[in-house]
Amino acid sequence: MEEGLTNSEILLIYEAKMCNPNGDPDAENKPRIDPKTNINLVTDVRLKRFFRDYIVEKFGENYVYVTKIAGENVTAEERVKMLLRNLDEESLHKVLERCIDARLFGATMTIKEKPKSFIGPVQFTWGFSFHKVEVMDTSAITSVFSGAVEKYGTIGRDWRVYYSLIGFYGVVSGRRAKVTGMSQNDLKVFDNLIWKALEVQPTTRSKIGERPHLYMRIEYKDADTVLGDLRRFIVVNQKGEAIRDFKDLDINFNELVNNLERNKDVISKLYLRTSEELSFVEKPVKSCCPEKFSKLPHELTDAEIKAVIERT
Amino acid sequence: MKLLVFDVKSFFAHFRKHFSTTSSLSYSFPPRTTIAGMIAAILGYDRDSYYSIFSSDKCRIALQVKSPVRHITNTLNYLMTDKPLTLKKLMGAGGSMQVHVDTLVSGERELSQLSFRIFFNHEDEKLMNEVADRIRRHKFSYPPSLGTANNIASVEFVDVVDAEVYKPNDEVEVHTVIPISVIKKIYPQHERKIYIEDLVPADFSEDRKLRRKEDYVYEEKSKPIKVKVDCEVFSCTLNGDKVVGVFM
């Protein structure tokens, strides 16, 4: 663990086109939508799942504490060995050492029958669409839903939204990083891979159509600064009659840039990555503090990323 | 009495009701104990270390619900980790559990933030100055949140004011949430919607046991409620407006 990990604030914008950004398990897996405002909601857990799934796919499930199967960390054999009895402090340390998601997002585990929680240094709020969304007329599908291995499929419905431009806001706490042992490199891997995950992970039927548009991480000089939700500075207006595509929206970043300008003295680094469509944001953001600006991704080779994840 | 006034905002919040089990119900505003926890996080105190520091005899907290609050319910798949996991569970059978989470959003209009105004006094002037200084400069030991850690909050300094504290003989118009235990009479008024919030924790003992709980009333749109109370109230001026409050 190195000294001097400081706070950061993160803004992530991605789109979901003709797909289901986050289904509600209690409502036929309908997209989560606030019924009164028609704003699309996405849980923080869904976002973290992109990152975890990508790690599992690329490096194997040994490096993720919360895996898809349901449970805990490491290989199946070790999993059972570790989990059939209660964990002790040492295995807990092992979990943090081995699982990058536990270092980033925290973990809850049972030690001597007492639940112990680590609040992760990287926290995201729920994401929401910057505009009202419309749900597509659905079609019935047949599928074998999870949990049951049956001969016949169940008939369900395939809910999707036409278009949703989703924003997430997150905070990185330097002080909490010390507790879980998150390193500067862990964070760099996260910067690179969350984008990658959003690009390549949506390959299941209901997720095809998701694409990242903007990732910004504002790194501060100390482990105390938190300026607050960055999404409040973004103004999105509808251009056309209906929102079906990115070009039906008008997005204004002026307030965000003004806010960066106002606070540039407390900023130590400014990381940004944008899609083609949002590349116009780069110039004004960079001009706030050109000497602190860097474009993402970080220059990390696959081998280097692997070394960070494996802690070798 | 010196009062530090600050606003706490966020798009989502969740204040778990202490008596709810499988469904995660939420209070409509942060309980006094949550606010104390938030201030403790700003100062960097560890979990379970601050209950006596912020007990009601040393520290006074009042809360104004600044924007209407709306509850939405979402279902999340949780993993059970409170019992040792079995192989069966690990293979995906009965491993996860659906939990209904009651989440607060602003009732004002879409994409607006929840907003709570907090009035804070502590007998330790040094502590109070440090909280004020940190909020003014946006420097927090741990990122403040409204309830659970993922509901990251924006904290905005409003003012440090000299408030007059007195026991009123007549009825007063109160802007903050009011414990029902101190109310002698409520005067219903036109276009005021009064809400009740039951069984809200107000004080913890050293070992995190509930020492005091209160039922509160508040007005939906932050309008004052006319009441006769049997307790001290505070009165101060914020941006030219008179604010009267009762401590939680």
Q: What is the pLDDT of residues A17-35, one digit of tens each?
A: 999 999 887 777 889 999 9
* Single-letter code of the amino acid located at A40: N
- Which segments of chain A does DSSP mark as H helices, in order? 44-59, 76-84, 89-98, 100-105, 174-180, 184-200, 254-262, 282-288, 302-310
Q: Examine the pLDDT at B149 and tell me if it is beyond 60.
A: yes
Question: Does the CB of A93 have a partner CB in chain B at under 8 Å?
Answer: no
Could you tell me the pLDDT band of residue B16, with boundaries at 50, 70 and 90? very high
Place of tokens 């028609």: A38
Report which secondary-structure segment, H or E, holds B36: helix B32-43
pLDDT of residue A29: 83
- CA-nearest of A70, A66, A144 to B93 is A70
pLDDT at A109: 67
Pairwise CA distance, residues A248 & A305, whole Å: 37
State whether residue B15 is helix, strand or coil. coil
Helices (H), ranges, B50-208 = 87-90, 125-137
User: Residue A233: is its pLDDT beyond 60?
Assistant: yes
Interface contact B79-A225, CB threshold 8 A: no
Burial A196-230 (b: 16+ CB within 10 A, else e): bbbeebbeeebbebbebbbbbbbbbeebbbbbbbb
- State which H helix or E strand residue B38 sits in: helix B32-43
The predicted structure's pLDDT at residue A155 = 67
The pLDDT of residue A70 is 41
Q: In the prediction, which pLDDT does B63 show?
A: 97
Cβ distance B140 to A130 less than 8 Å, yes or no, reads: no
In chain A, which among 246-285 make CB contacts under 8 A with chain B?
A: none
Q: What residues of chain A, 120 to 179, have a C-beta less than 8 Å from chain B?
A: 120, 123-126, 128, 130, 132, 146-147, 169-171, 173, 175-176
Q: Which of B75, B83, B95 sits opposite A26 (nearest CB)?
A: B75
One DSSP character per residue, A135-177 reads BPPPEEEEE--TT---SS-EEEEE--EEEEEEEEEEEE-HHHH
Contact assessment for residue B141 and residue B43, using Cβ atoms and an 8 Å cutoff: yes
pLDDT at residue B184 is higher than 90: yes
Distance CA B3, CA B175 (A): 15
- Output the CA–CA distances (angstroms, integers) from residue B201 to A181, A191, B2, B69, in the order listed: 34, 40, 25, 19
The average pLDDT across B174-187 equals 96
State the pLDDT confidence band at B99, using cuts at 50, 70 and 90: confident
How distant is the Cα of A230 from the closest Cα of chain B, in angstroms? Answer: 10
Cβ separation of B138 and A72 shorter than 8 Å? no
Burial of B184 per CB tally in 10 Å (0-12, 13-18, 19+): exposed
Q: Give me the residue from B11, B77, B149 closest to A119, CB to CB.
A: B149
Please list the residues that pair with A210 across neighbouring strands.
Answer: A16
More confident residue, B231 or B89: B231
Query: Contact, B226 vs B173, CB < 8 A?
Result: yes
Of all residues in chain B, the percent with pLDDT exceeding 90 is 77
Q: How far is B88 from chain A (nearest CA, A)?
A: 10
Tokens of B201: 């924790």
Q: How many residues does chain A have?
A: 312
State the pLDDT confidence band at A153, using cuts at 50, 70 and 90.
Answer: low
Best CA proximity match to B64, nearest among B205, B218, B239, B216: B218
Compare all CA atoms of chain B with the CA of A34 and give the residue at the minimum distance. B72
Q: A-chain residues within 8 Å CB-CB of B154?
A: 227-229, 232
Contacts of A10 (CB under 8 A, 6+ apart): A122, A124, A168, A169, A170, A171, A172, A215, A216, A217, A218
Residues of A in contact with B44 (CB under 8 A): 175
Whether the predicted pLDDT of A204 surpasses 70? no
In this prediction, residue A305 has a pLDDT band, given cuts at 50, 70 and 90, of very high
How far, in Å, CA of A118 to CA of A12, rounded?
A: 24
Residue B238 exposure: Cα atoms within 13 Å on the Cβ side: 20
Q: Which of B8, B14, B110 to mutate: most A Cβ within 10 Å? A: B110
pLDDT of residue B195: 95
Cα separation, A33 vs A60, in Å, equals 33
**Residue A187, CA atoms < 13 Å, CB-side half-sphere:** 30
Q: Give the mean pLDDT of A287-296.
A: 94
| For residue B230, pLDDT beyond 50 | yes
The 10 Å CB-count burial string (b at 16+, else e) for A54-64 is: bbbebbebbbb
Least confident of A249-258, B162-171, B200-209: B200-209
- CA–CA distance, A172 with A223 (Å, rounded to integer): 9
- Residue A311: Cβ-neighbour burial (10 angstroms; 0-12, 13-18, 19+): middle
**Measured distance between the N- and C-terminal CA atoms of chain A, rounded to whole angstroms:** 13
Q: What is the mean pLDDT of chain A?
A: 85
pLDDT of residue A71: 40
**What's the whole-number mean pLDDT along residues A37-49?**
93
* Contact indicator for B92, B80 with CB cutoff of 8 Å: no
What is the residue type of B178?
A: I
Predicted-complex ipTM score: 0.89
**A226 φ, ψ (degrees, to nearest 5):** -140, 115
Residue A13 distance to chain B (closest CA, Å): 15
pLDDT reading at A69 higher than 50: no
Does the pLDDT value for residue A207 go beyond 90? no
DSSP assignment of B150-182: TSB-EEEEEEEEE-EEE--SS-EEE-S-EEGGG
Give pLDDT, residue B163.
Answer: 97
Q: Are B78 and B97 in contact (CB under 8 A)?
A: yes
Residues B202/B194, Cβ–Cβ less than 8 Å: no
- What pLDDT score does B154 carry? 95
Across all residues in chain B, what is the average pLDDT? 91
